[in-house]
Structure 1
Amino acid sequence: MVKVFLVEDEFVVREGIKNNIDWLANGFDFCGEASDGELAYSMIQKTQPDILITDIKMPFMDGLTLSRMVKAEFPWIEIILLTGYEDFQYAKEAIRIGVSSYLSKPISGNELLREVSSVSEKVEEKRAEKEATKRYEEEMKERNELDKQTFFGKLVSSNCGAYELIEMAKKLSIDITALKYNVLLMKVWSKKHEIGEFSNSVLKIEEGIRTIATNNGAICFNLDLEGLSLLFKGDDDSTINTNIESTIREMMGLFEKYNNIRYFGGIGQIVNRITEISTSFSWASRAFAHMYLTSDNGFMVGSEEGLKVEKEDIILSEIDPKHIDRKLVKEFLRRGEASETEFFLEEFFNGMGKNAIRSTMLRQYISMDLYFCVTDYILNELGLSRDELDKQIAAPNAEVLGDEKKTFDYMKEIMNKALIIKQSNAIGRYRDIMNEAVSYIERHYAEEELSLNSLAAHVNFSPNHLSAVFKQETGQPFIKYLTDYRMEHAKELLCSTSKRSNEIGQMVGYKDPHYFSYLFKKTQGLTPTQYRNGTHEEE
């Protein structure tokens, strides 16, 4: 219901307007009155009417001053000015302020009601436009998340300067400036599902993590296909550490509500510059790599303990044999990404002892074991033939095994080759998933409830994973693909049928005719009526 507020210093006139019009019967809520602008202003701040009717000539604060103040704070309020003075200067000022109507007194109740009814149409149009804009922005969140993910990739790549990063952040409405930064990488998955597959519990947990992190001052980004990157920023170390501790504490409380889930987090080191966020990310990634080296849930901080030291002597009795476990390598190959390989290998060796990789004997043993582990994974889990395998991966030779760096690079190379083969297999699987997703859209595009979440549940993927794969395979986000698909059908119906615009909107998945018209004009550059009348043919 449209709310109306009246400001009039003459008591008799004010009472007449208030009581001689049946506001409620005509669809209006008469929400308040005042005798001058000064009294009215604080009341308007509280009631926030849709239409303000005010006299111009009043004591304490006149109607033009009140109108100017109201428009500055509440630009959406429509104003009707009443005056007994035929002064063109008033009219000019009213137009400049943005007043809707300028009426001369005396005015009858019917005349005023007609004017209020006319102005209320503008109010309803603005409301519909506001709701449509809000819905459109909500639907475009998927595209924004993908853009944010791309931005985060640049933020941690060390390839962009501060000015470029700040400008990119502004375009995404992200306030990236601060004195201190730290990164927390987070992944949650169901014990019953492989990473990537859909779990409603994991979806709810990720939504909870986003809320918790945001409330504690973090900026949330999607991490690759799965997981979250939380960027904490503040003015000092204490603020950031407190916010991270609060986030972890609240997340732990969230995790306790769910069974059969696993989680792991890696925390970086605090840095002082935007361009050093990549360093914090590297420390977080180093800690995050332990996710593949343990079956425990938890959080780990990237620290100096993971760095190599200068000690040359290696005592094999100091090596921890429980970390020489090919199951850890297999776990990484199944779940890891190429961007994580280097950190995984460093922490894999560091788990055996700070200088384990410096032992020639151990390094040779691990290299050979890793080679057999990788080839076994490729042959038996990825289904590659022996001939194809031998073309891509060779056993380590004496030259490789005799040099620490060459050995490490060799292990990194063969693991990444295995991950590339896994990715190739996944592309085939993704293609099948995408075929089913596109087919599902074609069958259900007319249902307004169709969304990324419902489609993800149908193909048994997480929404974030499906969004990334959908963009990768089609070149556009899901919501844009769906919108374009619906709009093409709408245009066909506009040209080939005589059905009304609101009927066509319902046929392509938009029950709200205002939103259909808004979206059509937003995406096609003209209204449905203009399109039907052939305007598009002239362009």
Structure 2
Amino acid sequence: MKRILIIDDEQQIRAGVTAKVEQCGDEALVVCGEASHGAEALEWLETNFADICLTDIRMPVMDGLTMIPLLTQKYPWMQCIIISSYDDFQYAQRAIQLGVTDYILKPIERDALRQSLDNASLQIDQRRKDRAYHLMTKRIQQSQALVSRWKDLIVTRQFNKYPLLVTDTLSTMEEWCEGELYLLDALSCTWIQMVAAEVKLDQPGLRTIRDSELGFDSVVLPHDRTRFYYRLCAVLRLERGILDLLDTAQNGSVPENTKVVSSVKQYIDEHYAEKINLEELADLIPMSKSYLTVLFKQSTGLTIWNYLVEVRMSHAKLMLLDQQLKIYQIANRVGYENSEHFSKLFKEYFGVTPKGYRRMVELNVE
């Protein structure tokens, strides 16, 4: 939702502009306040939040060209659009120097106003997106544990655990904002997109959040309510995002990532006789240990250790056919230094001890 402040010394003009904004039919744009000159607008902004200002140039007390630099300095997140009845190139030129989004003439045409507001909204979104991306890339290395929790939850489809995860993510992002709370929505969008890429899912839709969806029924947003408001936006955005990703995963759209699983299996098949460290195995992929564990289990139905035992036991079973090999030698060859531990695992796996297996196939060894 983008909030618009209208500044003009004629009340009738302000009412007309408000009506035209409403006629645009965009629920994401709402007029939140009005002022009769620049000084009154700055006073209003001391206690209230706005994203866009539509301002006249010539007004008493403080004109638009005087106000805009003061507004931009104190409220850099805002975009300004000048509306004026003076078709004067010098005014337009000065407005461009001040960095206004657009310069439109009275009487205002609805289509021209709609285009200007759309441009301003897009610029705001892009600026906040860029800022959010910068903050995330700067801090993401410190939050790898949180990223892993998102990936693990989605891959294992743990629907019941997402509320706590959303709360923890919100707290982390609020620290990143450093007071720029209006960035929370952009950060939430960027976070969802990043997680979707990590788990190789299609990007979920990130449509504009309406105040009605938040239960926020006031067009005016006082500064002391901005934290509450933007936290609500972020929670809804994160919840929608994670539920969309969970739903996609539930419907079988998560690739099984056979290349990764095959690589792990191949490594174990070739090195089963060695000591295998899960962290080193994850580094070879490369992938986080927790995510690799979840992905392997999701794909095979086995933990990595279960698969390792399965490979070792299969090789041990074949080796037991060789009468020349002692039990302890076979244990060593499949990666176990302790032959008693090996025998215990073998019995758990096949229901019979190594010696018992040999007797079954009538290959008794002294």
In the superposition, the TM-score normalised over structure 2's length comes to 0.41
TM-score under structure 1 length normalisation: 0.30
Structure with bigger RCO (C-alpha 8 Å, 6+ apart)? 2
